[in-house]
Structure 1
Amino acid sequence: MEIQRLRDLRDDHDKTQQEIADVLNMHRSVYRRYESGERETPAWVVVKLAEYYHVSTDYLLGRTNDPTPYPPAKTK
């Protein structure tokens, strides 16, 4: 997880760690450890944060600088 990117997104959205922890249904101390890099961020948290911030998971993971989320997959 790109730690600085996670913190910047939260700051850009004027959210506190507690507000994001509430979105993720966890204690603030657990979220703080993800944001500080003390703890590895589980995949479900990455997905939920990407949905919340309307960015791609690759952007959160630092694999791209383009925050644009991917379009939904087309089903047949």
Structure 2
Amino acid sequence: MFHRIRDLREDHDLTQEYIANILCIKQATYSRYESGAINIPVDILIQLAQFYQTSVDYLLGLTNSPKPIR
């Protein structure tokens, strides 16, 4: 999961600070999410999935398809 959120951020040419601001958290906290140092809360996972227009399942590594099921 941690690699996917980093890869998505980098694929969109965004900084950790930018994403942290969208999520209303500190950049250091977001950095720890990406490194796997701390678990990502469910509400943050949902916000990330909505922001990247993907599914939580994709972020969690339960599917390899980044497209959400509708």
Task: Say yes or no: TM over 0.5.
Answer: yes
In the other structure, the counterpart of 1:13 is 12
Distance 1:52 1:69 in 2: 12
Aligned residues: 70
Q: How far apart are residue 70 of structure 1 and its match?
A: 2.4
Distance 1:4 1:33 in 2: 12
Identical aligned residues as a percent: 47
AA matched with 1:66: S
Q: How far apart are residue 53 of structure 1 and its match?
A: 0.3
Tell whether 2:65 aligns with 1:60. Answer: no
Question: CA RMSD, aligned part only?
Answer: 0.6
In the other structure, the counterpart of 2:30 is 31
Structure 1: stretches of 5+ with no match in the other structure = 72-76
AA matched with 1:25: C
Structure 2: stretches of 5+ with no match in the other structure = none
> Could you state the TM-score of these two structures normalised by the residue count of structure 2?
0.96
Distance 2:63 2:69 in 1: 12
Q: How far apart are residue 67 of structure 1 and its match?
A: 0.7
Moved over 6 A (4+): none
Flag the structure with higher helix content: 2
Distance 2:2 2:53 in 1: 17
Distance 1:70 1:51 in 2: 13
